[in-house]
């Protein structure tokens, strides 16, 4: 594996990623949560600059007719930028977060630029069918491109012919077979029994395992748990709740109190 660094200074990182366009504009908008997205022109400018640097670094590394795979919402402009320099390569893009409905996506001032950036790819992948359908609807309604099923007809750059871009769903998950096998190991079963004993041998255990991010609804979950205890719907002697949360980002952006 060969690694090619993309150098960004601290201000660019903050405006492009940590507290800027990626995580304060796109992240809340795409998740449609209670935290309102923030829009700043300088953040968008940094997003464009960072995407261009990634594209210029990646494009020369691919062999003639090779394949370039671009990942996630931080790099949505990269496919088109690479396409402009390397018409010979095949480009894939996978979005690891939801893609919003066209009504919600229309709030984004630079929505059309984002769509055109993604359509530089040959294949655009999403985790859920609803995300793919939202993307297809946005392309059809906002750009006016012809959509036939999962295939989009994209006008070529300059004198280039019309290209076909496919939007598909590729659900991702854990290796459920391997995890299931682990539950049969004697040492793990004994450890699980010990954990239950440490909790007072409750009849029921409610478990949450999440990143410490406001999109996970941990604050609302704890509030709901408190209400269940308060109105007597659950008996704390019979049912306990365990919430495991790992830090979302080192700057604390994902922590509810920082949202």
Distance of CA 108 to the CA centre of its chain: 17
Which of 43, 27, 46 lies closest to 35 in space, CA to CA? 27
Identify the pLDDT of residue 189: 93
For residues 92-105, average pLDDT: 97
Which of 61, 40, 79 lies closest to 166 in space, CA to CA? 79
Q: How far is 98 from 89, CA to CA, in rounded Å?
A: 27
CB atoms within 10 A of CB 47: 26
Q: What does the mean pLDDT of the chain come to?
A: 91
- Per DSSP, what are the bridge partners of residue 212? 247
pLDDT tens for 168-195 read 999 988 899 999 999 999 999 999 999 9
Q: What is the pLDDT confidence band of residue 225, given thresholds at 50, 70 and 90?
A: very high
pLDDT tens for 113-134 read 999 999 999 999 999 999 999 9
Q: What is the pLDDT confidence band of residue 250, given thresholds at 50, 70 and 90?
A: low
Identify the pLDDT of residue 172: 84
Highest mean pLDDT of the ranges 131-135, 179-183, 200-204, 230-234: 131-135
**% of the chain with per-residue pLDDT over 90:** 82
Q: How far is 243 from 221, CA to CA, in rounded Å?
A: 9
Q: Please determine, for residue 258, whether its predicted confidence score (pLDDT) is greater than 90.
A: no
Q: What is the pLDDT confidence band of residue 215, given thresholds at 50, 70 and 90?
A: confident
For residues 3-12, average pLDDT: 93
Q: How far is 117 from 211, CA to CA, in rounded Å?
A: 29
Q: What is the pLDDT confidence band of residue 249, given thresholds at 50, 70 and 90?
A: low
Q: Please determine, for residue 82, whether its predicted confidence score (pLDDT) is greater than 70.
A: yes
């Amino acid at each position: 594996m060969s690694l090619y660094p993309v150098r960004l200074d601290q201000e660019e990182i903050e405006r492009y990623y940590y507290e800027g366009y990626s995580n304060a504009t796109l992240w809340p908008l795409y998740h449609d949560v209670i935290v309102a997205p923030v829009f700043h022109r300088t953040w968008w400018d940094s997003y464009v600059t960072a995407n261009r640097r990634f594209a210029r670094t990646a494009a020369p590394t691919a062999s003639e007719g090779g394949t370039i795979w671009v990942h996630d919402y931080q790099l949505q402009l990269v496919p088109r930028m690479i396409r402009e320099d390397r018409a010979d390569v095949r480009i894939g893009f996978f979005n690891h977060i939801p893609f919003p409905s066209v009504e919600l996506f229309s709030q984004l001032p630079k929505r059309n630029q984002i769509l055109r950036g993604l359509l530089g790819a040959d294949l655009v992948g999403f985790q859920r069918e609803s995300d793919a359908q939202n993307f297809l609807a946005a392309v059809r309604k906002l750009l006016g491109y012809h959509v036939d099923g999962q295939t989009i007809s994209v006008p070529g750059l300059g004198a280039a012919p019309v290209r076909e871009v496919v939007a598909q769903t590729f659900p991702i998950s854990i290796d459920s077979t391997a995890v299931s096998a682990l539950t049969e190991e004697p040492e793990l079963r004994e450890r699980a029994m010990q954990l239950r004993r440490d909790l007072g041998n409750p009849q029921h255990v409610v478990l949450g395992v999440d990143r410490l991010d406001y999109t996970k609804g941990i604050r609302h979950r704890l509030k709901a748990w408190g209400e269940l205890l308060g109105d007597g719907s659950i008996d704390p002697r019979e049912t306990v709740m365990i919430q495991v949360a790992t830090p979302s980002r080192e700057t604390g952006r994902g922590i509810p109190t920082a949202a």
